[in-house]
Amino acid sequence: MLSADGRPHAPDLTFRAVIGEGRPVRPHRPKRLKTPTGPAEEGHMSTRRPPSHRGSFRRLTALVALAAAFALIPSSPGLSISPAARPDPATFGEDGSGPAAPWVEGRGQAVSASASDWDDVGADHWAKVAIDRVALQNDWMNDFGDTTFQPDAVESRKLFARALVMAFAPDEPIKPSITFNDLPADDPFYPYANVAVKKRWMTKFKGNFNGDRAVKTIQVHRALVYALGLKSTADAIDGVSSSNGYVFVHKAQLGSMNLGMHLYLRYNHPDESLDVGPYDKLSRAEVAWSLYRADVLRTTETWRVSSMSKYDAVELGFMGPKKRAIVDFGLAYVGYPYVWAGEWASPTPAGYCCGAQPVGGFDCSGLMWWLVRAPSGSWDNRFVRPFYGWSLPERSSRDMSLAVSGADRLTYQQATPGDLMFYDGDGNGVVDHVNLYLGRGWALDSSSGVGGVTLLRVADGWYRDHFVWARRIT
């Protein structure tokens, strides 16, 4: 189901907070810092996922506790010790995978900074590196002087238009035939709005530019993807179809949102409560990050822009009506953030069966639940999903993979649209990532590296190298 503005929505789950149906209700999850792990970006060196310091600490703590326990146990020949139960992945989530992302460098630079030129941007602010670049080293977002940035203020469309044009088309002449009902030609923001619309980076609505309205994630992605010369690639993604001729139904700007995610235009916060979705209004700090990333992409990461050519033609596998419905539904969530242990498209309360999450979003296996799992116990997303789904009781990628054995473990060549694809990112023999195969080398995925849900290529690169087997559930 879609809301009046065309975006998917999920119901308030409070009325479905049921205790004791199949799994214990967990308390509200504490905030967890996300750590990027997984494959190197295609075109660069493939790498093993770095070891988790969090996991090492937990293992050390467990060993100390175990040693203490044995010290207290009297010697007895009849004594047996039961192994500790494995934690419920629906409660604790899983890391998933993804390439080491540019925000890692940004975080490191921000933390290492010893001073700040800003009165309202601390040396350790998550976006300081970006803010310095777009408002000190360049004056694109220097809107309030050299000491005030207002990082938490919502960015307006007119301020974004000015920053966008100053960064990407400072010498572009206006087109006099482009006018706005709400922005006269003598307004200081008119030239920037004019050029932004002329270049098709931004749009007007019913003759208005709506310059005082907040700019949203999806609008920023469109503008910067187009400014980077990727409009035709975005259009190709918008035309995604199956090999038997079905053109998939999706919201506007699917291509721009997907490319923006792969170009890391959206910052993936360690504190997931700060993550933004496709339709969220953006703060000035968020816009600074996106503009900073776009500037890096056109200067020192041109290879990454070129690598998006893989999306110049997107044709999925042969699908009947049931499989097409999965893809139509899933494409609506491209751009939703990666949320550790997330399996719902909107924030969930503490009483929800599978745990509270601060924002809508998914980890890798949580996305599989959202896309294909049939209702079970108190988990039921049929309010927004137009089909019933299939049995998928397991919550983690590891458990999903171990539910099949022998001939039921499909090779890459045997996989068909709707199958679950499993990956061993560590190379340690344990599955740690899953996505949904769409055929012809494409999948729907939520990874901690990219930082959310994307349509991506799995026919080569890290995903092909680390693929272990597939599972048919549909």
Across-strand partners of 337? 452
Q: pLDDT value at position 70?
A: 32
Which ranges of the chain have pLDDT less than 70?
Answer: 1-100, 102-115
Q: pLDDT value at position 115?
A: 64
The string over 126-157, giving b where at least 16 C-beta atoms fall within 10 Å of a residue's C-beta and e elsewhere, is: bbbbbbbbbbeebebbbbeeeeebbbeeebbb
Q: pLDDT value at position 370?
A: 97
Q: pLDDT value at position 20?
A: 24
Q: pLDDT value at position 354?
A: 82
Please check whether residue 178 lies inside any domain of the structure. Answer: no
Please check whether residue 63 lies inside any domain of the structure. Answer: no
Q: pLDDT value at position 349?
A: 85
Please check whether residue 127 lies inside any domain of the structure. Answer: yes
Domain total of the chain: 1
pTM over 0.75: yes
Contact between 124 and 178 under an 8 Å Cβ cutoff? The reply is: no
Please check whether residue 408 lies inside any domain of the structure. Answer: yes
Q: pLDDT value at position 10?
A: 44
Could you give the 3-state DSSP secondary structure of residue 208? strand
Please check whether residue 220 lies inside any domain of the structure. Answer: yes
Q: pLDDT value at position 353?
A: 80
Please check whether residue 332 lies inside any domain of the structure. Answer: yes
Give the CATH number of the domain where residue 385 resides: 3.90.1720.10
| CA 151/CA 275 separation, integer angstroms | 15
φ and ψ at residue 223, rounded to 5 degrees: -60, -45
Please check whether residue 300 lies inside any domain of the structure. Answer: yes
Task: Residue 120: give the domain boundaries.
Answer: 102-155+214-471
Q: pLDDT value at position 227?
A: 98
Q: pLDDT value at position 2?
A: 43
Please check whether residue 367 lies inside any domain of the structure. Answer: yes
